[in-house]
Amino acid sequence: MQRVNMTKRNSNSYIGSAYTECSSDMMQIEEIKDIVAVMNKQLREAGSVDRRGFPLQYRVSLKGREAIRKENNRSYTSQGDVVGGLANSKRIDVYIHRR
């Protein structure tokens, strides 16, 4: 997994980018999901809360980039998602967000 376009990023949640053709990148995404699941379990067991009293929990967010094929002459929706979802993406950006 690599970090792409770091000069244009303004999100602290960005972890890296994985290419869909690379099986090791896809395995790294699964590892990140497993790590976040274990972390969430430990946070629940410890009763961790933020300053407003809400439980601390995190989620892995995947965002498709670089469409493989255009649909209706478009690569992206108006929300910035790749048309056709992750299955139509060459690259996937990985983020970890608070729930």
Q: What confidence tens digit (pLDDT) does each residue in 60-73 have?
A: 999 888 888 887 78
- pLDDT range class, residue 3, cuts 50, 70, 90: low
Q: How many CB atoms lie within 10 A of CB 57?
A: 16
Instruction: Report how far residue 56's alpha carbon sits from residue 15's, in angstroms, rounded to the nearest whole number.
Output: 19
Q: What is the pTM of this model?
A: 0.82
1 close to 18: Cβ distance less than 8 angstroms: yes
3-state helix, strand, coil in the chain (%, to 5): 30, 35, 40
DSSP classification of residue 23: H
Structure letter (DSSP) for residue 49: B
